[in-house]
Amino acid sequence: MDLPKIFAAFKSASAGIVFFLGTALILTGCSQPSTLQEIRDEGVLHVITRTAPSIYVESEDGPTGYDYELAKLFAEDLGVKLRVRVADSNTEILSVLEKNYAHFGMLGLSRQPHTANQYRTVATGITAQSILVYNRDVERPESLQDLIGKTVHVVSDSNHEHRLNEARQENAELEWEVHPGLDAAGVLSRVESGEFPYAMVSSNELDLNHVFYPMVKEAFTVGEPGELAWFFPSAQDDSLAKAARQFLESLETNGTLAQISERFYGHLDRLNYVGARTFMHHVENRLPKYESLFRDYARDFNMDWRLLAAIGYQESHWRPNAVSPTGVRGLMMLTRNTASHIGINNRLDAEESIQGGAKYFRIVHEKIPERIPEPDRTWFALASYNVGFGHLEDARRLTEGAGRDPDRWMDVKEFLPLLAEKEWYTKTRFGYARGHEPVIYVQNIRRYYDVLARLNQPGIPATEAEEQIVQMEESRAPEVPSGELQTDGKLRAGLPAELGMIPPTL
């Protein structure tokens, strides 16, 4: 476009007319950059979210969360920085998106018909549905009809309001109360205390929080499952949403999406009520005696003290004089040979045991191939700590032989139980092993670690931490039909198909 010649042709016209026509020509002849191009030009992807274990949390190790990890990878793929703003609620997030003040929002919601014209959505790989929960001291409702005359409590701007409105067509007297100042954890804590006898929460948030609230029980689901999604302002063009959709589809194709899903949801389970009370009792009464030792020796051997403490709890429930029928003993339950190898003289001395456990874990961790990224490398190290490196390698060879990835814990944990079956262990180098045990072992330690990390999050009041209770799984191995992989492992969060073949203990 030769703008000088065009302006020269109109030099006899008034300055205002020339300016108007020139501007019009520029606007009609030169297209504006797309949203995606604007982001690349600025070098920043602006995202708004809220704090929730299922979306985004600040930890001692920095921000994390399922949606956050995906957004971080997306920003890296675009070659820009990720800038996250944390809102107080979904209401605030939606308000920001409505004004087009962020590129997209992470709300933990699925697409709803009443928002279809307001936002573009991109599914993130997790499906969830509304779950009616109740305090275990009240009568269990069997259906919404049983809640007539009672109040259901929900968070604001959630999928639950839409589903309750649909349900009201058949149950006109159904009542609920919306709590703008609460999140899912806040609602669950009030169900735990009995303040809210009944409430509705998303299944994925229940999965991630349920271990802290053993007085909360599940009654039934409401409505159909929906895919959780990122929300993009309608004021944008579709370039960013399209790029996000293509990126997440690529993560699903190469297995990264399934691996991130396993990291956040793959070790969750419905665990027993007694174990919950027992663990919290030990956190309050036993852990303080040894916490400084866990911190000191974890620092000496470059590991997270909460992970070291979680291993200690799984091994002995933090009992320094623990002794097993097989001869392992002490707080970290070291064998005589292991203790001798790492220079531990008295296995029943708590300090020596914790020092020995940290040193041995570091040795085991360093044997795991460096090419395996975290956190999988740590899960492999934990399995090796429990069952031995040789048996772990046998399971990894079986995994590779079946065409799966031997460097991914989510794949290898399916094959470890086969080491207890003759038709499989006779084909391995190191033979028989109780292969279920390391799978349960890793799962339990991951849950203990989760709880210790949550209880030590910056900004959580001590009184609130004391009320957070964890349920832990009883150490019993599931039965797996001979020659078959267990395939019914159901995760409430609705993980992708790649996670279908997970043993029911996971």
Supply the CATH classification number for the domain 273-456: 1.10.530.10
Q: At 417, is the pLDDT very low, low, confident or very high (cuts 50, 70, 90)?
A: confident
Predicted confidence at residue 268, as pLDDT, reads 59
User: Is 474 one of the annotated active-site residues of the chain?
Assistant: no
Percentage of the chain surpassing pLDDT 90? 50
C-beta of residue 81 within 8 angstroms of C-beta of residue 213: no
Q: Report the C-alpha gap between 71 and 77 in whole angstroms.
A: 10
Q: Bridge partners of 321?
A: none
- Tens of pLDDT, residue by residue over 261-287, are 877 776 655 445 556 667 888 899 999
Residues across the chain: 506
Torsional sign, CA 346, 349, 353, 354 = negative
Predicted confidence at residue 161, as pLDDT, reads 86
Of 182-191, 359-368, 450-459, 484-493, which range is least confident?
484-493
Q: Fill in the amino acid letter for 32.
A: Q
Q: Report the C-alpha gap between 350 and 330 in whole angstroms.
A: 7
Predicted confidence at residue 21, as pLDDT, reads 32
- Please write down the long-range contacts of 358-366, taking CB distance under 8 Å and 24 or more positions apart: 358/297, 358/298, 358/300, 358/301, 358/303, 358/308, 359/297, 359/301, 360/332, 360/334, 360/385, 361/301, 361/303, 361/308, 361/311, 361/385, 362/301, 362/302, 362/303, 364/389, 365/303
Predicted confidence at residue 463, as pLDDT, reads 39
- Tens of pLDDT, residue by residue over 148-171, are 999 999 998 888 988 888 888 888
Plot region of 444 (φ>0 → left; ψ -120 to 50 → alpha; else → beta): alpha
Which class for 287: exposed (0-12), middle (13-18), buried (19 or more C-beta within 10 A)? Answer: middle
Predicted confidence at residue 139, as pLDDT, reads 93
Predicted confidence at residue 420, as pLDDT, reads 77
Of 28-32, 84-88, 369-373, which range is least confident?
28-32
SS3 130: strand
Cβ atoms within 10 Å, residue 1: 8
pTM over 0.85: no
Predicted confidence at residue 267, as pLDDT, reads 61
Domain 126-227: what homologous superfamily? Periplasmic binding protein-like II (3.40.190.10)
- Please write down the long-range contacts of 179-187, taking CB distance under 8 Å and 24 or more positions apart: 179/153, 179/154, 179/155, 180/89, 180/91, 180/155, 180/156, 181/89, 182/155, 183/50, 183/51, 183/52, 183/89, 183/155, 184/52, 184/155, 184/209, 185/52, 185/209, 185/212, 186/155, 187/153, 187/154, 187/155
Of 225-229, 414-418, 430-434, which range is least confident?
430-434
Mean predicted confidence (pLDDT) in 472-493: 33
Cβ-based neighbours of 269, under 8 Å, separated by 6 or more = 443, 447, 473, 505, 506
| Range 479-488 burial, b when 16+ CB lie within 10 A, else e | ebeeeeebee
Mean pLDDT of the chain: 81
Which of 161, 205, 262, 315 is flagged as catalytic?
315
Predicted confidence at residue 60, as pLDDT, reads 56
Q: Fill in the amino acid letter for 112.
A: Q
Q: Bridge partners of 122?
A: 230
Q: Report the C-alpha gap between 133 and 141 in whole angstroms.
A: 9
Mean predicted confidence (pLDDT) in 357-370: 95
**Stronger pLDDT, 1 or 46, i.e. the higher one:** 46
Predicted confidence at residue 152, as pLDDT, reads 95
In three-state form (DSSP H/G/I as H, E/B as E, the rest C), the secondary structure along 179-218 is ECCCCHHHHHHHHHHCCCCEEEEEHHHHHHHHHHCCCEEE
* pLDDT reading at 462 higher than 50: no
- Tens of pLDDT, residue by residue over 227-249, are 999 999 999 999 999 999 999 99
Q: Report the C-alpha gap between 438 and 364 in whole angstroms.
A: 14
Torsional sign, CA 190, 262, 103, 75 = positive
**Stronger pLDDT, 483 or 210, i.e. the higher one:** 210
Predicted confidence at residue 135, as pLDDT, reads 95
Domain boundaries, the chain: 126-227, 273-456
* CA distances from residue 486 to 50, 347, 353, 423, 506 in whole angstroms, order as listed: 37, 38, 36, 16, 11
Q: Fill in the amino acid letter for 84.
A: V
